[in-house]
Amino acid sequence: MSTKRIQYDDRTLSSAIAVDERAAYAESVALAESMLAEKTGQGSDFLGWLELPTKTTDAELDAISSCAANLRTKADLLICIGIGGSYLGARAAIDFLGSSFEDQRTPRVVFAGHNLNSDYLSDLKKLVDTRNVAVNVISKSGTTTEPGVVFRIVRKWMEEKYGRAEAAARTVATTDPAKGALRTLATQEGYTTFPIPADVGGRFSVLTAVGLVPIAFAGIDIKKLLAGAREAQKFCSGPSIDTNMAARYAVNRNILFRRGKLIEVLASFQPQLHFVGEWYKQLSGESEGKNMTGIFPASLDYTTDLHSMGQWMQEGVRTVFETFMVLKGTATTLTVPKFDKNDDGLDFLVGRSVEEINRNAYRGTLLAHQDGGVPVATITLDDRSPETLGQLFYFFEKMVGISGYLLRVNPFDQPGVEAYKKNMFALFNKPGYEEQSKALAARVKMLEG
């Protein structure tokens, strides 16, 4: 008997999607489920994420937790170096489950390697100089430009501060189990290492050591996270959209997409969900945006963004549908106080909780956007717990796998990501890119006058 901590409510789509439209997808959903379960579809070499919740052993989780505990005896700050799926899942988890303010988090995890900015790195250097620091570098190959460059810089700082041997003792490498530049370096320097499974792509890797090492360092119970994901396996499987919650969401998205709703806005009503939205954008966009098709994923933070993007959502081009994320309960409750004078006209809210006000902001927004012609549905989360987040992670991953197959694309590759990398290598005259470098030189000259 599964304990469902998340709900997907699409009753508000009844005016936009007819029952027989969903029924028409029955055969396609069954086929997608079969291709995933039997590994017969495109990208079948990268389906290891499907069984991570049940196949990850307590011994593996204990090893990660033990490593994190050891690092906490040396450091109160972990620099997590990675890009894309190598950092977004961990950041989403730590933001969702931790304090709203980073300075209040003990121990603290900061992220680098996802941008190329000297000012950002110079500010990071100040943390290295003033804090007890450990490093988790995450890269399957070790040659990805952004984390590779940043790790070179941070490694130099660490060795200057602690000496080479102690810097190595404070460094964990999450990488390919057998090969690659980072694996070679880790062996040479004696870094603690954890493997990135060969059959799990980066954007599906949050429940591997990629996400679990920094999450565990932050003091989050990773066994509970995996336990939640195991529960989600139960209600996100099977050929029927009446019992497979992930498949139902995937079908709704595809029906709306084929009707010209090309953009999905994932709108959350809690600031702690911001990076869940960022993680989802990569998961969805990199999985579905291929062959000149795919739903464009966007995320907004309400009520904040209602005062910036609210006008567009209400009356802009009707190419959008919206999925709300709302939290059923918060850990604390604050109420509106009373003053002698009603100067701000808000006495009608005295004694009301902030969450009650937020809940009615959600209801009011849903009804307004629905009246404005935006198809809307809602994902409700029971609480801010590791179990709930584990369910949400797995639900989104399974939905994207099904949705990709419904769109007739390979949801587990990302050939388009390589285009900018090849151009960048050519612009630096990397060995092997000489001919491309010559071809790009003229175009760059034209761009820059």
Residues forming the active site: 286, 307, 421
CA distance 278 to 88: 7
Please provide the DSSP assignment of 178-209 as one string: S-SHHHHHHHHHT-EEEEPPTT--GGG-TTSH
Closest alpha carbon to 206 in 390, 54, 5 = 390
Q: How far is CA 111 from CA 81, 150, 191, 221, 362, in A?
A: 6, 11, 19, 20, 31
As to burial, measured by CB atoms within 10 angstroms (0-12 exposed, 13-18 middle, 19+ buried), residue 391 is: buried
- Spatial strand order in the sheet of 320-327: 6-9, 376-381, 320-327, 263-268, 296-301
Burial of 126 (0-12, 13-18, 19+ CB in 10 A): exposed
d(CA 358, CA 302): 9
DSSP state of 295: P
Note the Cα 25 to chain centre separation in Å.
Answer: 28
Cβ-Cβ contacts under 8 Å for 349 (sequence gap 6 or more): 336, 357
Distance of CA 28 to the CA centre of its chain: 27
Q: What's the half-sphere exposure (Cβ side, CA atoms, 13 Å) at 358?
A: 21
Q: Work out whether strand 263-268 and strand 77-81 pair parallel, antiparallel, or are unpaired.
A: unpaired
- Return d(Cα 368, Cα 309) in angstroms, integer: 14
- Compute the distance between CA of residue 407 and CA of residue 392 in angstroms, rounded to an integer: 22
Residues 94, 216: Cα–Cα separation, whole Å: 9
Q: Torsion over CA of 209, 143, 74 and 108, rounded to 10 degrees? A: -70
DSSP bridge pairs for 298? 265
Question: Cα(403)–Cα(397) distance, rounded to whole angstroms?
Answer: 10
160 to each of 19, 82, 157, 320, how far by Cα in Å? 65, 22, 5, 52
